[in-house]
Amino acid sequence: MATGVLGGSFDPIHHGHLICADRAAEALGLDTVLFVPCRSQPLKPTGPAADAAHRVTMLRLAVQGHPRFVVDTCEVDRAPPSYTVDTLRLLRQRWPDERLVLLLGADAAADLPRWRAADEVARLAEIAVLTRPGVPEPVSAFIAHLVATPAIEISASDIRARCLTGKTIRYLVPDAVAQYVARHKIYQ
């Protein structure tokens, strides 16, 4: 069995995340992709955000019905900060014989040398970088795979800004997520 691990703030989850996860699952032969929302990210600046409960609910709405996609709240359930090495240690304990593949965007992979215990991260899981046209591919001995993904110009920060100014987010996020955001007045 092979499991991909896609972590992030998912604030909110959008079609770009889902398409990239689906492409990675196909390219790498993954049986499952775990979406692991973090409680907080040590290397990202803070700012307006949905709380963890809202982000988890939006993730569950977004992956509902996809046979390979699963939400795992292990990072939300533990005290911050969220370090990938701790998550991978936990997953390795759960599934000692599982092939684990950490899925990273090129921007996150570029920061990999600054991560806590980056060498251990690479021992615990294969690292696959999701590349996009026009974005430089990171170079690191830690990277085991490069997976080409389409250039999708959707960003969570743009979605939050659109919500704040009353603009639609339809077609940027799954319909169920857009409805949830509107119903709960998230990002407004």
CATH code of 129's domain: 3.40.50.620
Q: Classify residue 47: in a domain, yes or no.
A: yes
pLDDT of the residue at 62: 98
Total domains in the fold of the chain: 1
Q: Classify residue 173: in a domain, yes or no.
A: no
Q: Classify residue 51: in a domain, yes or no.
A: yes
Give me the residue label for tokens 């899925």: 103
Q: Classify residue 71: in a domain, yes or no.
A: yes
CA distances, 129 to each of 39, 64, 146, 153 (Å): 22, 25, 5, 18
- Asked whether the CA dihedral 65, 151, 121, 38 is positive or negative, the reply is negative
pLDDT of the residue at 116: 93
Q: In terms of residue numbers, what domain contains 63?
A: 2-151
Q: Which of 117, 55, 112 is nearest to 92 (CA)?
A: 117
Instruction: Give the helix/strand (H/E) hosting 77.
Output: helix 74-77
Q: How confident is the model at residue 63 (pLDDT cuts 50, 70, 90)?
A: very high
Q: Are strands 2-8 and 126-131 parallel, antiparallel or unpaired?
A: unpaired
pLDDT in tens, 11-28: 999 999 999 999 999 999
pLDDT in tens, 105-154: 988 888 888 899 999 999 999 999 999 888 888 888 899 999 999 988 89
pLDDT of the residue at 111: 86
* The pLDDT of residue 71 is above 70: yes
